[in-house]
């Protein structure tokens, strides 16, 4: 049972059949490589269960099974290793050091890291925790399956029985029980893990720049330029990662204790948001940090309007977990701008657009799918075989609301979501909002967010004015209580 990925080149070496890597890092007879992907912060119960089971998993596993996690292992893994004084591999000092969980990156934001890994590997975040596995790192695909506190022990026991073959008959036999999925890649899984591992390693909160170590002052955080000539999905992923990396560096600068912003409200607590009834009465936009830094266009000029902080707090419980994480990332990055200007604001804009897109994928998108007779809640966020849900946009273009990729249902992207929704409303002469005026205002805000998002992904640069506009859109969504409406749709279609 292997643990750490402190040297990610081992995966690439194994995939390329590099004899040195195979000899030094893996047992010659390793038949299965398994990786745990979970969010230790938003799912603490599972994190504890994984930690309690670690000793049993290690002692009962054989030399054919390599099990690990890519980042942020449960602290109990390290504690148990210390109890054994590091001698978990039959007193083999080299393997003990290589497989010590203390070498696994501990990132400054485990939730954002797990969201990034899920997005990178095309695993739906709402399906976590999950076990990723393959019998062959050379193959251009991997398998994954959702797991939970009760099922993970049996799944790991089953994984250890897998023969070293490629297209496996046991996949079909077990698929009906635990929904094993296959993700196809453009290169070997070993090479993909190598590239992903290097990114995660750079997020390790224990890593220090040599300049930092020598001069006791971390380098100033900056946003790396993004190549926007790549595919749209790759640009989005790179912008997301750039934001995570930026926040890590900002944390190293001890931004929170800067004298200039000590009055900033730290209001985003994703796991336990403040109930709307407890929002401080009398709070106004005039006292808001964000109203002082950004040019908001509120729905009304009423000085008693809620501050941005209060509006977020009041609406947070309506959002999905990944929507909250994207929103939190955007707000934290915008917060860090105090007194600064940057060349390209795209990494700060993207999280607000992704959060909105995720919310639509759970609500409005399924309103459209229902109109096309997708069976809900049975196929909520799932592909329904044999059903056509293609929305026509003109004579030669359609948007598929029942699209399958890698054996998973895939939501249209933000532009497709909005345009498909609009055309379905026109065809059905129906919409889920309280009035036609409400519907038109929602559509206006949605298109504004979509247009700003497109500039962030395609233009050479975006400005602070673009960031101001997308924040103003979120103010409008909050004030018009649109997320409450979207939440009702989610509950209706999820069942």
**pLDDT value of position 367:** 98
Q: Is 17 left (phi over 0), alpha (psi -120 to 50) or beta?
A: left
Give the pLDDT band (50/70/90) at residue 223: confident
User: For the residues 423-444, what does the mean pLDDT come to?
Assistant: 96
Please tell me the distance from the alpha carbon of residue 261 to that of residue 265, in angstroms, as a whole number: 9
Please tell me the distance from the alpha carbon of residue 16 to that of residue 27, in angstroms, as a whole number: 16
Q: Higher model confidence: residue 187 or residue 375? A: 375
pTM tops 0.75, yes or no: yes
**pLDDT value of position 17:** 53
Q: Higher model confidence: residue 260 or residue 320? A: 320
pLDDT exceeds 90 at position 370:
yes
What secondary structure letter does DSSP report for 321?
Answer: H
pLDDT exceeds 50 at position 175:
no
pLDDT exceeds 90 at position 384:
yes
**pLDDT value of position 441:** 96
pLDDT exceeds 60 at position 69:
yes
pLDDT exceeds 90 at position 286:
no
pLDDT exceeds 80 at position 337:
no
User: For the residues 386-404, what does the mean pLDDT come to?
Assistant: 92
pLDDT exceeds 50 at position 266:
no
**pLDDT value of position 304:** 60
**pLDDT value of position 4:** 43
Listed by start position, the domains of the chain span 9-202, 210-340, 354-494
Please tell me the distance from the alpha carbon of residue 292 to that of residue 280, in angstroms, as a whole number: 19
Q: Higher model confidence: residue 250 or residue 31? A: 250
Q: Higher model confidence: residue 326 or residue 277? A: 326
**DSSP helix/strand/coil, 69:** strand
Give the pLDDT band (50/70/90) at residue 193: confident
**pLDDT value of position 253:** 65
**pLDDT value of position 319:** 95
Please tell me the distance from the alpha carbon of residue 445 to that of residue 356, in angstroms, as a whole number: 11
Q: Is 161 left (phi over 0), alpha (psi -120 to 50) or beta?
A: alpha
Q: Higher model confidence: residue 349 or residue 79? A: 349
- The answer to whether 386 and 402 have CB atoms below 8 angstroms apart is no
User: For the residues 81-88, what does the mean pLDDT come to?
Assistant: 59
Give the pLDDT band (50/70/90) at residue 205: confident
Q: Higher model confidence: residue 115 or residue 165? A: 115
Tens of pLDDT, residues 403-429: 998 878 999 999 999 999 999 999 999
- The answer to whether 366 and 380 have CB atoms below 8 angstroms apart is yes
pLDDT exceeds 80 at position 396:
yes
User: For the residues 242-268, what does the mean pLDDT come to?
Assistant: 58
User: For the residues 35-58, what does the mean pLDDT come to?
Assistant: 79
Q: Higher model confidence: residue 303 or residue 265? A: 303
Please tell me the distance from the alpha carbon of residue 272 to that of residue 304, in angstroms, as a whole number: 26
DSSP character string of 238-291: HHHHHHHHHHHHHHHTTGGG-GGGTT------TTSPPPGGGSPTT--GGG-HHH
- Give the CA radius of gyration of the chain: 24
User: For the residues 350-357, what does the mean pLDDT come to?
Assistant: 97
Residue 285's alpha-carbon distances to 164, 265, 304, in angstroms, are 62, 13, 7
> pLDDT exceeding 70 applies to what percent of the chain?
68
**pLDDT value of position 297:** 52
Give the pLDDT band (50/70/90) at residue 16: low
- The answer to whether 27 and 64 have CB atoms below 8 angstroms apart is yes
- Output the CA angle 41-45-50, nearest 5 degrees: 95
Give the pLDDT band (50/70/90) at residue 461: confident
Q: Is 81 left (phi over 0), alpha (psi -120 to 50) or beta?
A: alpha
Please tell me the distance from the alpha carbon of residue 168 to that of residue 158, in angstroms, as a whole number: 13
Which residue blocks in 229-273 are alpha helix, DSSP H?
A: 232-252
**pLDDT value of position 215:** 45
Residue 413's alpha-carbon distances to 286, 323, 355, 449, in angstroms, are 36, 15, 12, 13
**pLDDT value of position 283:** 45
pLDDT exceeds 80 at position 260:
no
Q: Higher model confidence: residue 56 or residue 461? A: 461
- The answer to whether 462 and 223 have CB atoms below 8 angstroms apart is no
Tokens of 331: 């707000």
Name, in order, each residue with C-beta under 8 angstroms of 209's C-beta and a sequence gap of 6 or more.
218, 219
User: For the residues 464-480, what does the mean pLDDT come to?
Assistant: 93
Q: Which of 85-99, 160-174, 265-279, 446-460 has the lowest average pLDDT?
A: 265-279
User: For the residues 129-138, what does the mean pLDDT come to?
Assistant: 87
Q: Higher model confidence: residue 305 or residue 462? A: 462
pLDDT exceeds 80 at position 289:
no
Q: Higher model confidence: residue 477 or residue 220? A: 477
pLDDT exceeds 80 at position 9:
no
> Whole-number mean pLDDT of the chain?
77
Q: Rounded to the nearest 10 degrees, how much is the dihedral formed by the CA atoms of 134, 136, 142, 144?
A: 0
**pLDDT value of position 63:** 61
């Amino acid at each position: 049972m292997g643990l750490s990925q402190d040297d990610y080149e081992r995966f690439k070496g194994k995939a390329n059949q590099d004899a040195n890597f195979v000899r030094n890092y893996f047992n010659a007879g390793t038949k299965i490589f398994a990786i745990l992907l979970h969010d230790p912060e938003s799912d603490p119960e599972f994190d504890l269960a994984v930690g309690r089971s670690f000793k049993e998993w290690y002692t009962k596993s054989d030399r054919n099974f390599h099990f690990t996690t890519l980042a942020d292992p449960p602290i109990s893994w390290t504690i148990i290793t210390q109890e054994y004084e590091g001698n978990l591999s039959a007193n083999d000092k080299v393997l003990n050091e290589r497989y010590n969980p203390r070498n696994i990156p501990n990132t400054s934001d485990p939730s954002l890291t797990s969201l990034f890994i899920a997005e990178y590997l095309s695993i739906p975040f709402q399906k976590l925790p999950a076990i990723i596995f393959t019998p062959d790192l050379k193959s251009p695909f991997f398998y994954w399956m959702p797991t939970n506190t009760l099922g993970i022990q049996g799944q790991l026991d089953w994984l250890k029985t897998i023969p070293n073959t490629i297209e496996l008959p046991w996949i079909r036999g077990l698929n009906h029980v635990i929904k094993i999925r296959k993700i196809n890649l453009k290169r070997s899984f070993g090479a993909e893990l190598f590239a992903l591992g290097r990114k995660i390693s750079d997020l390790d909160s224990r890593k220090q720049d040599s300049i930092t170590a020598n001069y006791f002052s971390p380098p100033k955080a900056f946003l790396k330029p993004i190549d926007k000539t790549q595919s749209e999905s790759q640009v989005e992923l790179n912008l997301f990662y750039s934001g995570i990396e930026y926040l890590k560096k900002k944390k190293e600068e001890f931004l929170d204790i800067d004298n200039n912003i000590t009055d900033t409200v730290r209001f985003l607590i994703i796991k336990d948001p403040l109930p709307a009834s407890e929002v401080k009465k009398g709070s106004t936009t005039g006292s808001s940090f964000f109203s002082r830094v950004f040019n908001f266009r509120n729905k009304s000029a009423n000085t008693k309007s809620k501050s941005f902080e209060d509006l977020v707090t009041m609406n947070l419980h309506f959002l999905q977990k990944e929507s909250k994480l994207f929103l939190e990332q955007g707000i934290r990055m915008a917060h860090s701008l105090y007194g600064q200007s940057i060349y390209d604001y795209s990494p700060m804009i993207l999280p607000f657009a992704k959060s909105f897109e995720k919310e639509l994928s759970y609500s409005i998108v399924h309103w459209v799918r229902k109109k096309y007779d997708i069976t809900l809640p049975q196929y909520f966020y799932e592909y329904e075989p044999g059903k056509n849900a293609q929305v026509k946009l003109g004579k030669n273009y359609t948007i598929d609301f029942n699209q399958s990729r890698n054996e998973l249902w895939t939501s249209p992207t933000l532009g497709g979501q909005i345009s498909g929704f609009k055309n379905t409303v026109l065809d059905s002469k129906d919409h889920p909002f309280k009035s036609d005026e409400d519907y038109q205002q929602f559509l206006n805000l949605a298109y504004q967010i979509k247009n700003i998002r497109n500039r962030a992904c395609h233009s050479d640069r975006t400005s602070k004015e673009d960031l101001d506009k997308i924040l103003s859109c979120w103010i409008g969504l909050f004030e018009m209580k649109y997320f409450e409406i979207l939440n009702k749709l989610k509950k209706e279609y999820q069942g």
